[in-house]
């Protein structure tokens, strides 16, 4: 049963959310595109800080934007998307999807059980964790042999376990999960960076859909104005930024960008979610 609303659950009123949502999404998506991510982990502090939403509202809104960016990415890649490199990884991908969908279903319910303050603490820990992961990944080689044994059973079991973690993070942060799926595909299963990025889209789509259905059933989108003034413009800005980021790939070392963005994510998460009481009225 969802915890009762408190004063902290009420988002502060912010004028001109639409232009802020649109303009903030573009640079986030550009930077995300440069390192192969959608940028949802960076949108969450914007939703909770600049746009004034409570954590309870920001997470499902972020998930809705993530869905549109995934669909747009699939459409953009449609003409050049080759599925043949994915064939050896299909069992692992299905296992990841299975675990992620289950965790996304229960993660959305868990979010409803937490008070806004508790949810903010969980978000803070997860964002700091993702920031640290980006920093560490910046120092690691981009292509390495898969760490898991080639035996199918090992890969399926590991895929389910990794999927559970990915789905939980996706539903609690409102992200597509690429920041976790891509490193998992590379370092655990031995996929190259391009194949890992394509696999991430197919794994993220059902995960995000399940999370959205659960949040919708809990009344997260009853206020249609949020969809019009925040989700739509932020989605449009994210798609534009992702296209620009894709065109600019290679202008800066991805490893350096990951380290810098990891630091930025940790700092912004600390600033927003440690001082959220001051941001809420």
Burial of 263 (0-12, 13-18, 19+ CB in 10 A): middle
Q: Given CA atoms 229, 234, 235, 240 in this order, what sign does their dihedral have?
A: positive
What distances in angstroms separate CA 206 from CA 2, 71, 102, 143, one per listed residue? Answer: 24, 11, 10, 27
- Average pLDDT over the chain, rounded to an integer: 85
User: What CA–CA distance (Å, rounded) separates 269 from 257?
Assistant: 18
pLDDT tens track for 6-64: 444 444 556 688 999 999 999 998 888 777 777 888 999 999 888 989 989 999 999 99
pLDDT greater than 50 at residue 3: no
Which percentage of the chain shows pLDDT scores above 70? 88
Q: What is the pTM of this model?
A: 0.85
Domain ranges for the chain: 16-78+102-279
Token pair 């001082």 in the structure block, residue: 275
CA distance 214 to 103: 11
State the average pLDDT over residues 96-121: 90
Residue 100: its pLDDT value, please? 96
Q: Quick: pLDDT tens for 169-220.
A: 999 999 988 889 988 998 889 888 888 888 998 999 999 999 999 999 988 8
- Predicted pLDDT of residue 213: 94
């Amino acid at each position: 049963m969802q915890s009762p609303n408190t004063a902290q659950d009420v988002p502060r009123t912010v004028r001109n959310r639409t232009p802020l949502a649109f303009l903030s999404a573009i640079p986030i998506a550009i930077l995300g595109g440069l390192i192969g991510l959608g940028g949802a982990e960076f949108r969450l502090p914007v939703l909770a800080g600049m746009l004034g939403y409570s954590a309870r509202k920001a997470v499902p809104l972020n998930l809705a934007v993530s869905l549109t960016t995934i669909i747009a990415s699939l459409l953009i890649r449609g003409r050049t998307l080759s599925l043949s490199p994915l064939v050896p990884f299909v069992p692992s991908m299905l296992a990841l999807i299975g675990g992620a969908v289950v965790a996304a279903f229960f993660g959305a319910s868990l979010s409803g059980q937490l008070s806004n303050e508790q949810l903010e603490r969980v978000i803070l820990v997860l964002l700091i964790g993702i920031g640290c992961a980006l920093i560490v990944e910046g120092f690691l080689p981009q292509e390495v042999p898969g760490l898991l044994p080639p035996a199918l059973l090992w890969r399926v079991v590991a895929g389910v376990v990794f999927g559970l973690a990915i789905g939980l993070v996706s539903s609690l942060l409102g992200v597509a999960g690429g920041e976790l799926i891509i490193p998992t595909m590379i370092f655990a299963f031995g996929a190259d960076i391009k194949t890992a990025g394509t696999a991430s889209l197919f794994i993220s789509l059902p995960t995000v859909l399940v999370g959205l259905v659960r949040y919708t059933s809990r009344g997260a989108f009853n206020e249609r104005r949020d969809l019009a003034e925040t989700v739509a413009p932020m989605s449009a800005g994210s798609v534009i930024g992702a296209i620009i980021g894709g065109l600019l790939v290679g202008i800066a070392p991805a490893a350096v960008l990951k380290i810098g963005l990891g630091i930025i994510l940790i700092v912004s998460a600390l600033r927003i979610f440690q001082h959220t009481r001051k941001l809420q009225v």
